[in-house]
Amino acid sequence: IVNDSDDYLGMVFAKEFLSVNASPESKLKNFISKTPTLGREVAVERAIEMILNTGNRAFPVIENSSNLEGIVSEIDIVVNARFGHAAVDSVMSGAIVLEGDDTLGNALSKMRRYNISRLPVISKDGVLTGIINVLDIAHMISKPRERASKAPGLGTMAVIREVKVKDMMRNAYSVEQGSKINDLIGDLKDHEEIVVVGNKRPIGVITPKDVLELLLPKHGGPTFVHISDPE
């Protein structure tokens, strides 16, 4: 977010829209978060450390104290790196799942409890059927919805919390255990997450952030190709 002079004011993250006070009529200024900033000469390793330490997916590139020059995101770093023979098993997070008949209220509770942004959706016998993430829910909140006719006074979030997960989940992109990270770079760019499966059942999830630790010096040092200047 910038002002009329292109001075950096802060960033807005999708997870902020999951608060009970969020609605399509909410003012964007109420969700602005002040973040650390990067300069053009900052080392890539420093950007990785900032992403991992804060949980933010991107940081602004600032010049002349306050002018926004661009943004560097976790995926910008990942697509310009090489991961050797590392497999998804070495970086995936354990899969925390829910069933399609669960409500979005249950999904939100799990996301907050485990501090995660996505949940694989399974059938009653444990087979992967879809996925839902914080951006999907934020998109739904952004759409004006009529108040429940049988319960006047219910706000947007109250109505949304009762929606069934199966009614808004997306198809999940999945790979088998042992898949090489280098083979999945394009998929990480095109999808918000990749579900790792065994016998069609989710056993883990990988995101760009999950692979970033492999790029820190303690893992033998990152290998980067050229990262273009921000436009």
Which secondary structure element, helix H or strand E, spans residue 140, and what is its range? helix 134-141
Q: In whole angstroms, how far apart are CA 198 and each of 89, 103, 149, 176, 206?
A: 11, 26, 44, 6, 14
Least confident span in 82-96, 139-153, 197-211: 139-153
Greater model confidence, 226 or 7: 7
140, pLDDT greater than 90: no
Bigger pLDDT: 34 vs 158: 34
Distances (CA, A) of 179 to 92, 174, 211: 11, 10, 13
* pLDDT at 149 (0 to 100): 40
Predicted local distance difference test score (pLDDT) of residue 3:
77
Distance CA 214, CA 129 (A): 30
Model confidence over 21-48: pLDDT tens digits? 555 566 767 777 788 888 888 898 999 9
Query: What CA–CA distance (Å, rounded) separates 5 from 196?
Result: 45
Q: Is the pLDDT of residue 200 over 70?
A: yes
Tens digits of residue pLDDT in 65-117: 778 888 899 999 999 998 989 999 999 999 999 999 999 989 989 998 998 88
Compute CA distances 98 → 7, 84, 104, whole Å. Answer: 42, 33, 10
pTM, rounded to two decimals = 0.75
More confident residue, 213 or 155: 213
Confidence of residue 192 (pLDDT cuts 50, 70, 90): confident
- Tell me the Cα Rg of the chain: 19
Who has greater pLDDT, 96 or 216?
96
The distance of Cα 231 from the centroid of its chain, to the nearest Å, equals: 23
Of 220 and 184, the structure prediction assigns the larger pLDDT to: 184
pLDDT recorded at residue 29 = 73
146 pLDDT exceeds 90?
A: no
Predicted local confidence at residue 161, as pLDDT:
81
